[in-house]
Amino acid sequence: MSTAEVLNLGGKIYEGKTKELLDKPGRVLLQSEDQITAGNAARKNHLEGKAPISTKVTSRIRQLLQKAGTQTAFTKKCGETAFTAPQREMIPTEWIFSQKEPCCEGGGISFIHQK
């Protein structure tokens, strides 16, 4: 039996640069990939072990935000590389870490809202 069958998943809703969104009754499953990108995906590389780290960080940040009273699109972590969230309309945003950020010694984080 496949993972999709065990988790009662439907089809793929969306595939981004580093995640896939799969339909799950009443919510979605966000599946991280071992993929890193740069230059709006002009450069792509496989990075073994990135998916579990990304999922762990994303899940923990969202749990901390929820604990502080901020609503997030996070229900629970599902395994090492995925988490579930309520199915909602996506606001296209991107967080970028750059070691070359001139304003911050050692790098910085940028937030981009895409229309």
pLDDT for 75 equals 93
Q: Where in the chain are the domains?
A: 3-89
Q: CA-to-CA distance for 90 and 99, rounded, in angstroms?
A: 28
pTM for the model stands at: 0.70
Q: CA-to-CA distance for 70 and 77, rounded, in angstroms?
A: 18
pLDDT for 13 equals 87
pLDDT for 2 equals 41
Kindly give the parts of the chain with pLDDT less than 50: 1-6, 111
pLDDT for 51 equals 95
Domain 3-89 CATH superfamily:
Phosphorylase Kinase; domain 1 (3.30.200.20)
Residue type, 69: G
Q: Which two tokens stand for residue 55?
A: 């999922």
Counting Cα atoms < 13 Å in the Cβ hemisphere of 13 gives 17
